[in-house]
Structure 1
Amino acid sequence: MELPEKKRVAVIGPLLPYRGGIAQHTTLLSRALGDITETLTISFSRQYPSWLFPGESDTDPKYKDHREPGCEYLLDSMNPLSWSRVVERVDAFAADIVVIPWWTVFWTPCFGYISRALRERNLEVVFFCHNVIEHESSGWKSYLTRLVLKKGTRFVAHTRADQKNLHSLVPGAAITVHPHPIYDQFPEPLGSLPRRKSLELLFYGFVRPYKGLDTLIEALGKIAQRDVMLTIAGEFWEGKQALVDRIEQLGISDLIEMRAYYHSEQDTAELFSRADMVVLPYRSATGSGVIMLAYNYNRPVLVTSVGGLADVVEQGRTGFVVPPEDPEAIAGLLRTLRPEDCEAMQPCIEETKRRWTWSGLAEALLDAG
């Protein structure tokens, strides 16, 4: 794509060594933007206070000493003086566009101040909305979200569900919708994890109530005689003991491996490589980077018809879509699913991977300006 003029872009948000999907996304987007235009990237000296983050740490142990090339780690979420310094740095860079990710109201004070100050300097503020309405939503959260997002010049989202939610909060908003690119930065698997059963399933990522893991457990309880194994890989925000108790009540402990901790990139590669299918039994969502991670390893997904999950799954070609909170629907699919059925979807997944790239996302963001 030929740009009429080279726009100077500033990206403000979490990058490596911070962990999680938003940090991965912002890192890869900033790299893609840096490949095609002048880019300033600013990340956090401190992202969350330790008492607020529910996991062991908000940084990836593998990258604890990593500093993203060219990134300036200036922003402290709890220090307003740093917010002002970030605004001055962006102004000195003479940015034309400032990209800020949005996913939770925790960022209302910090990103609200920064976006308002940037707009006062007549800079274009683009909010990259990963989650317009929070999973555990409430009226006050929607109010705070609207308070910040109305300071945006335009918006980018990955799903039509987020587009719809944005229009409800910011009527008339200019929104670009572009598919979530594939997470292709993860390493190749070494094949270190042996298979245990005929059908291997994977639930991956932070375990939170909205992700519906309990629905998947109930489904497994309905097919207890099936030669299937589920790996749960991720830290629990809450409810771990209740889930363990229910697994024992259903008598399916031998069908489940619990890996309730953070997984490195190499561990992640091994887990996805062993799985025949990745399951996202969410009861609410707008989108999920886990789907793109599964596609990276040519693994089909089983998702529910909530938010934008079904938008990126071709029924029977890259995965399956079932109703939310319906254990019988999941059980019905798993009763007859074979590893060969999953393997047969790989050519279509490969085709999808070629379409959804980070360079394409970066170009779409700039082209819409």
Structure 2
Amino acid sequence: MIRNQKIIILGPAHPLRGGLAAFNERLAEQLTAQGNDVEIHTFSFQYPAFMFPGKTQYATGPAPANLRIKRSVHSMNPLNWFRTGRAIAKQRPDIVIVAFWLPLMAPSLGTIAKMIRKNGHSRIIGLVHNLIPHEKRPGDVPFTRYFVRQCDAFITLSREVENDLKQFTKAPVAFAPHPVYDSFGDPVPQETARKHLGLHPQHRYLLFFGFIRAYKGLDLLLEAFADPRLQAMDNLHLLVAGEFYEDKKKYEPLLTPRVQLIEDFIPNEEVKYYFSAADLVVQPYRTATQSGISQMAYHFEKPMLVTNVGGLPEIVPDGKAGYVTEPSPKAIADGILRFLDQPSGVFSNFIREQKQLYSWDHFTDTLGSLTQ
């Protein structure tokens, strides 16, 4: 456990929205509760509008009341990188945790980290969600190498990213599973959740949750859902809750009357209703490292169907927390049928036990091992 340290987290946070912001804010809460002085430095400017595929980068709700969040980083302004790095260096934080998920951010985050290290005191820990992007672009490798060189140690959320990092550096690398996302409220009774969302109380619902991009395989799930064996089940429905980060047109021919599409970013206060209403959370990804959706499902104690890619099978043991299938429509349909043939609640005990392993205490203990 980390105690009595001055800590700065560098990465997305309110008013930016999304899983990375939620992760950094929850981590800051945990470290603060353990007796540390914590401040988040987030972006005043994250992505140019033409590079952001969603409707907005910003949350509509209030900032977390118990956190100190400073909007100081401009991802595209080198003068800002030097200014921000020098300002943080003067604060002499004991630990700086730098969230990394995209090579595009390497110049800004890497330069700020480089400036901070010049104070000879701060230890820089890279919190690497993803090292090699799902959607590759020119410059990914040199940008990533630049960022990696500025860190003293790294923590990853999947074994796959841990292995990727070891191809770039000999610095210490620790793995800790993505903790449970417990910041979206407690589970509510399924009947209550369905009433809130206007869903039928007796139907069965599959849930695809989160932003929609090609690597997440929504088209694979829609093709699986069109399987005649599933279409024969009149009471089976699919909820797709998430904002399109690519052209919706390619999905439209696959939509059927029993696919309910909520094509918008789901506010934090509404998340509990979607997960609580669902019978099965489906992640039909083509590629993955880890997924915060799995940890949301654990928090709401929902079984999952995931594909056999990246770190997903590490988190969802086949036949215990749900099912692992190959990323193809038939295999996904077969997995859904396997689930529907099981008695209700068959995975509940394992999921309740397993989610105890994904605590924030365990994550910060692992983080603390890198600060020595």
Q: TM-score, normalised by structure 2?
A: 0.90
CA shift in 2, pair 1:367/1:257, >3 Å:
same
Give the equivalent residue in structure 1 for 2:133: 134
CA shift in 2, pair 1:180/1:221, >3 Å:
same
Distance 2:75 2:314 in 1: 34
Range that drifts further, 225-234 or 208-217: 225-234
**Counterpart AA for 2:218:** L
Please state how far the C-alpha of 1:358 moved relative to its aligned partner: 1.6
Please state how far the C-alpha of 1:57 moved relative to its aligned partner: 1.3
In structure 1, the residue corresponding to 2:251 is in which secondary structure? helix
Give the equivalent residue in structure 2 for 1:256: 259
**Counterpart AA for 2:233:** R
CA shift in 2, pair 1:282/1:337, >3 Å:
same
Distance 2:281 2:222 in 1: 14
Residues 50-129 of structure 1 correspond to what in structure 2 (within 5 A)? 50-63=49-62, 69-122=67-120, 123-129=122-128
**Counterpart AA for 2:334:** G
CA shift in 2, pair 1:148/1:142, >3 Å:
same
Q: 1:200 aligns with which of 193, 197, 205?
A: 205
Distance 2:70 2:361 in 1: 22
Q: Is residue 243 of structure 2 the alignment partner of residue 243 of structure 1?
A: no
Please state how far the C-alpha of 1:258 moved relative to its aligned partner: 1.0
Distance 2:367 2:274 in 1: 33
CA deviation profile, 1:298-339 (whole Å, cap 9, x unmatched): 111110111101101122221111112x21111112224338
Distance 1:147 1:87 in 2: 16
Contact 2:42 2:71 in 1 (8 A): yes
Aligned residues: 359
Give the equivalent residue in structure 1 for 2:337: 335
Distance 1:17 1:352 in 2: 32
Give the equivalent residue in structure 1 for 2:361: 359
Q: TM-score, normalised by structure 1?
A: 0.91
Contact 1:17 1:66 in 2 (8 A): no
CA deviation profile, 1:84-133 (whole Å, cap 9, x unmatched): 33223322221122110000122122112112212333332111000111
Q: Is residue 225 of structure 2 the alignment partner of residue 220 of structure 1?
A: yes
**Counterpart AA for 2:77:** N
Q: 1:232 aligns with which of 240, 243, 249?
A: 240
Distance 1:128 1:150 in 2: 14
The runs of 5 or more residues in structure 1 that have no matched partner are 248-252
Give the equivalent residue in structure 2 for 1:9: 7
In structure 2, the residue corresponding to 1:365 is in which secondary structure? helix
CA deviation profile, 1:174-227 (whole Å, cap 9, x unmatched): 111001111111124452132376421000111000011111111111132123
Please state how far the C-alpha of 1:26 moved relative to its aligned partner: 0.7
Residues 314-353 of structure 1 correspond to what in structure 2 (within 5 A)? 314-324=317-327, 326-338=328-340, 341=343, 343-353=345-355
CA shift in 2, pair 1:232/1:121, >3 Å:
same
Give the equivalent residue in structure 2 for 1:19: 17
**Counterpart AA for 1:320:** Y
Distance 1:142 1:291 in 2: 28
Distance 2:338 2:362 in 1: 38
CA shift in 2, pair 1:52/1:66, >3 Å:
farther
In structure 1, the residue corresponding to 2:40 is in which secondary structure? strand
Across the aligned residues of Structure 1 and Structure 2, the Cα RMSD in angstroms comes to: 2.1
Query: Percent sequence identity over matched residues?
Result: 31
In structure 1, the residue corresponding to 2:51 is in which secondary structure? coil
**Counterpart AA for 2:350:** C
Distance 2:78 2:135 in 1: 27
**Counterpart AA for 1:80:** P
Distance 2:45 2:338 in 1: 48
Distance 1:55 1:129 in 2: 23
In structure 2, the residue corresponding to 1:299 is in which secondary structure? coil
Distance 1:285 1:342 in 2: 28
Please state how far the C-alpha of 1:15 moved relative to its aligned partner: 1.3
Contact 2:28 2:67 in 1 (8 A): no
Range that drifts further, 299-308 or 27-36: 27-36
Distance 1:319 1:54 in 2: 32
Distance 1:363 1:85 in 2: 32
Distance 1:7 1:242 in 2: 50
CA shift in 2, pair 1:128/1:264, >3 Å:
same
Distance 2:67 2:95 in 1: 20
Give the equivalent residue in structure 2 for 1:287: 290
Distance 2:55 2:138 in 1: 30
Give the equivalent residue in structure 2 for 1:250: none
CA deviation profile, 1:338-366 (whole Å, cap 9, x unmatched): 38645221221111222212232122211
Contact 1:198 1:339 in 2 (8 A): no
CA shift in 2, pair 1:295/1:195, >3 Å:
farther
